[in-house]
Chains A and B, each alone.
Chain A
Amino acid sequence: MTDDLEDFKTLMNAATPAPDAQRRVENLQQAQKSFARAQGLQSGARPTVKRGPIARLTEGAKSMLNVLTHRGALTATTAIAAVALVAILPQTRDYVLEPNSRIESRSTTSQAPHSVTELEADSLEETAAAPLEKPVVDVPVVVSRTAKRQEGFTAESDGPVLFEIAPNTAEPFLGGRVLGAIGDNQNTEAFSNTATNPLNVTAEDPVSTFSIDVDTASYSIVRSSLMRGQLPPKDAVRVEEMVNYFPYSYPAPESDVPFRPSISVTPTPWNEGTQLVHIGIQGALPQIEDRPPLNLVFLIDTSGSMQNTDKLPLLKQSFRLMLSELRPEDQVSIVTYAGSAGQVLEPTAASERSKILNALDQLEAGGSTAGQAGLQQAYRVAESMVEDGEVTRVILATDGDFNVGLSDPDDLRDFIAQKRDSGTFLSVLGFGRGNLDDATMQALAQNGNGQAAYIDTLSEARKVLVDQLTGVLFPIANDVKIQVEFNPAQIAEYRLIGYETRALQREDFANDKVDAGDIGAGHTVTAIYEVTPVGSDAIRNGPLRYAEQAVSEGSDEIGFFKLRYKSPGVAESQLIQHPILPGQGAVTEDVEFSYAIAGFGQLLRGGEYLGSWSYADAIALANEAKGEDPFGYRAEAITLMRLAQTLSQ
């Protein structure tokens, strides 16, 4: 059926206009002039014309000196700029200086991917890996006790914190960061179609429906922008992804429900006349002590494009981090596709650390695509490892090359879905920017009951593969949708903060065929509505003359919350519902911190509904609600708020 493509070609050829003759002449002349100018500027770099060994020697020394002076001057100006930055931002100097030095080494290599030799890549990787070794080795694991349940192994626990890391290891988050420049990101759709949710009049449109979103990519983009000294583009800010980046300890679910929503209705920090309805959903935490042994097959893309420092080398470091989280009874195998071929590591107990690390170290990116049946092989290996009661998962790591043996996207999805039903799951880890096919990653991972995570920095690798390992590997609910109906007798206006890209049609809520977001074990999801009670001064839309006024029927419910989810592997959804009452729930540090982040996100988007509430208020609120912050995420957020505050002035 290549006819469509041929047709397309013919049409395109017909539609392609000829270049404008006049502009062609002008452009060519202009180019000629700039060429001459560029040559003038470049004269120092041109080959020397002087002959004879002595002349060449002096000439060489001279040009070397030229280069050196140039370098020296550059260093000096950089230093001046750095000092100036410190003078402006005294609180953040510790963070700002260190990543800067790293950015330089990283970005030079990544901008010239084709000129980096294997040797350089290796030595770079080693220097980058060095500071890591210490934190990796003995991370004490604090475990909470609970009952174990079947398949999804739901359990209850005190909070989402799975692993407590020794305090000194929690520190160097910002230090280890590679700043992926936003400019590298080819995926422009990430920034599109996100006009801020409007204020809804309850009497006209009382129902709000959306899919949950556990993605956190937007926070990473905001972070890398601010760390580069720029405010992020407004469209890159998705408030819900920023809020959901942080772990919260909402009340854990009881009995066999996979998660539990907690609703609080509290005053709004930025508006006295409104209230915030805070919906926090806590996923059940599987008992990590009793978790079944894991069989992990890493399917690693080793095509030539993976050789950038932020791809294969970062992947190796990430897996080293993850390895330390595995138990002796867990098994690991490595299969590669594209470039080098086949099974690199036979199924090996996680206790044989050095054997696994050796295999990992020998991975090299290079060569053209070999196109073996990588995925089938990975699944075959995975199936050979399965024993009763064990969890088996293939982890595909790639920079966007999905040439894993099945060339048809639909076949691939079907294949993965079919394997999922037989008990082998798939997660996808994306590395590097520019080639990443976010949509395919998400689609494959969703079909494989897994998550797609994007790893741009070592600290992100730590968050995904160490701190939240269990959530990544054990999904507990699929297609989670939320619908809230507000009571027009109590609430005049409402707006959902964030989730612009996740809005669903009202009728989609009960339609199980409509896809929505998934929740992993121990994940938390937060949604916040700002509501304006009837009679408040803060109502923005005046009453209509001809509309019927809602009359209170004695109910003081301000709204009704409904949530649908599917247990993994089940096609029919289940419903959870709760009324929302005024003054319900308590204001915890978690709730307050999520408000601070929601406010921060809205400020970055222009702060349309925030009145005079400012970055300073966000910082104060976040500081107050920082809590224990065992991983340092919240401290990092406050640093980013400070940067944003300075940059916005």
Chain B
Amino acid sequence: MRMTTSDEDLAKAAAKGDADAFAALLARHYDRIFRLAFRLSGRGDQAEDLTQDICAALPTKIVGFRAQAKFTTWLYRVVVNAAEDARRRQASHSRAAVGWGDVEQMRRAEAAETAEAVDWLQRAMRALPQELQDTLALTLEEEMTHSQAADVLGVSEGTVSWRMSDIRKRLRALRQEELAQ
């Protein structure tokens, strides 16, 4: 029965203290959180840690959910911010291990058949500045519109469109560079 309840209603119930609603909501979105965490960080192990952090933080954060935005928008924002925080923490520890920047870890983590694809992803992602990486990771979600991505990132829709065209341009340039080699 729960499964038919909308995200927003569940979230509102959770915000008021309904533990079942919270559990249902988190179970429904756990994979989504993980997926975005991976795309933002570029590493499986980091995505796991990040997801754990988010799960730990959500119970207090959900109280602040006011149904002004779609629940997924709100949730994505939480994930993007958490990824950003994690990056900042990491930057102060060691710069060597920054997500999409760490080739070796990636290689070991991934299965052999995807290794080549991952290499290309790796190069493509590394070629993009941070805000483009975040924008790209977000827009890869199936139902994500530019307008929703803009809401998540707290920028205007135009900025997202601008960034996407920038990303296309950079990917194309990268492709041409590879063809030229």
Give the interface of A toward B (CB within 8 A): 1-2, 4-5, 8-9, 11-20, 23-24, 27-28, 30-32, 34-39, 42, 45-47, 113-115, 183, 186-189, 191-192, 233, 235, 303-305, 338, 368-369, 371, 400-403, 407-410, 434-435, 437, 439
B12 at the interface (CB under 8 A from A): no
Are B59 and A435 closer than 8 Å at their CB atoms? no
| Residue of B30, B121, B162 ringed by the most chain A CB atoms within 10 A | B162
Are A27 and B55 closer than 8 Å at their CB atoms? yes
Q: Chain B interface residue count: which class?
A: 35 or more
User: Complex formed: what's the CA distance from A338 to B158 in Å?
Assistant: 8
B36-83 residues with Cβ-Cβ distance < 8 A to A are 38-39, 44, 47-48, 51-52, 55-56, 58-60, 62-63, 66, 68-69
Are A38 and B63 closer than 8 Å at their CB atoms? yes
| Residue of B22, B59, B91, B130 ringed by the most chain A CB atoms within 10 A | B59
Are B34 and A8 closer than 8 Å at their CB atoms? no
19 other A-B residue contacts (CB within 8 Å) besides A30-B56, A42-B63 = A8-B171, A11-B117, A11-B118, A11-B120, A15-B118, A16-B38, A17-B110, A19-B47, A28-B30, A30-B52, A32-B22, A34-B56, A34-B59, A34-B60, A46-B17, A115-B66, A369-B156, A403-B158, A439-B129
Are B88 and A35 closer than 8 Å at their CB atoms? no
Task: Sample 5 A-B pairs with CB under 8 A, ordered by A number.
Answer: A17-B110, A19-B48, A34-B59, A35-B14, A409-B166
Task: Provide the residues of chain A in CB contact with B68, threshold 8 Å.
Answer: 114
Are A28 and B27 closer than 8 Å at their CB atoms? yes
Partner among B154, B155, B169 whose Cβ is within 8 Å of the Cβ of A409 = B169
Q: How far is the CB of B180 from chain A (nearest CB, A)?
A: 15
Q: With A12-B39, A15-B118, A35-B19 as given contacts, are A435 and B26 in contact (CB-CB < 8 Å)?
A: no
A contacts with B: majority SS = helix
Are A402 and B162 closer than 8 Å at their CB atoms? yes
Q: How far is the CB of A23 from chain B (nearest CB, A)?
A: 6
Q: With A11-B117, A14-B114, A27-B55 as given contacts, are A369 and B23 in contact (CB-CB < 8 Å)?
A: no
Partner among A19, A235, A410 whose Cβ is within 8 Å of the Cβ of B169 = A410
B4 at the interface (CB under 8 A from A): no
User: Complex formed: what's the CA distance from A114 to B26 in Å?
Assistant: 24
Are A338 and B140 closer than 8 Å at their CB atoms? no
With CB as the reference atom, state the residue of chain A lying closest to B113. A14
Are A403 and B159 closer than 8 Å at their CB atoms? yes
B2 at the interface (CB under 8 A from A): no
Are A31 and B158 closer than 8 Å at their CB atoms? no
B35 at the interface (CB under 8 A from A): yes
With CB as the reference atom, state the residue of chain B lying closest to A31. B55
Q: How many A-B residue pairs have CB under 8 A?
A: 168
Closest 8 CB pairs of A and B: A403-B158, A35-B59, A4-B171, A369-B158, A19-B34, A31-B55, A303-B156, A27-B55
Task: Provide the residues of chain A in CB contact with B171, threshold 8 Å.
Answer: 4-5, 8
User: Complex formed: what's the CA distance from A51 to B131 in Å?
Assistant: 52
Task: Provide the residues of chain A in CB contact with B59, threshold 8 Å.
Answer: 31, 34-35, 37-39
User: Complex formed: what's the CA distance from A13 to B174 in Å?
Assistant: 20
Task: Provide the residues of chain B in CB contact with A24, threshold 8 Å.
Answer: 30, 34
Task: Provide the residues of chain B in CB contact with A303, threshold 8 Å.
Answer: 156, 158
Are A31 and B58 closer than 8 Å at their CB atoms? yes
Are A31 and B154 closer than 8 Å at their CB atoms? no
Q: With A11-B117, A233-B92 as given contacts, are A305 and B155 in contact (CB-CB < 8 Å)?
A: yes
User: Complex formed: what's the CA distance from A77 to B175 in Å?
Assistant: 59
Give the interface of B toward A (CB within 8 A): 14, 16-17, 19, 22-23, 26-27, 30-31, 34-35, 38-39, 44, 47-48, 51-52, 55-56, 58-60, 62-63, 66, 68-69, 84, 87-88, 91-92, 95, 109-110, 114, 117-118, 120-121, 124, 129-131, 136, 140, 147, 153-159, 161-162, 164-169, 171-172, 174-175
Are B165 and A408 closer than 8 Å at their CB atoms? yes
Q: How far is the CB of A438 from chain B (nearest CB, A)?
A: 10
Task: Provide the residues of chain A in CB contact with B95, threshold 8 Å.
Answer: 192
Are A19 and B30 closer than 8 Å at their CB atoms? yes
Task: Provide the residues of chain A in CB contact with B166, threshold 8 Å.
Answer: 409
Partner among A11, A46, A305, A338 whose Cβ is within 8 Å of the Cβ of B154 = A305
User: Complex formed: what's the CA distance from A183 to B58 in Å?
Assistant: 20
Are B121 and A304 closer than 8 Å at their CB atoms? no
User: Complex formed: what's the CA distance from A28 to B121 in Å?
Assistant: 30
User: Complex formed: what's the CA distance from A408 to B168 in Å?
Assistant: 10
User: Complex formed: what's the CA distance from A435 to B58 in Å?
Assistant: 24
Are B162 and A403 closer than 8 Å at their CB atoms? yes
Are B23 and A28 closer than 8 Å at their CB atoms? yes
User: Complex formed: what's the CA distance from A17 to B109 in Å?
Assistant: 10
With CB as the reference atom, state the residue of chain A lying closest to B57. A34
| Residue of B153, B155, B166 ringed by the most chain A CB atoms within 10 A | B155
With CB as the reference atom, state the residue of chain A lying closest to B68. A114
Q: How far is the CB of B129 from chain A (nearest CB, A)?
A: 7
Q: With A14-B117, A338-B156 as given contacts, are A19 and B55 in contact (CB-CB < 8 Å)?
A: no
Are B155 and A39 closer than 8 Å at their CB atoms? no
User: Complex formed: what's the CA distance from A42 to B47 in Å?
Assistant: 30
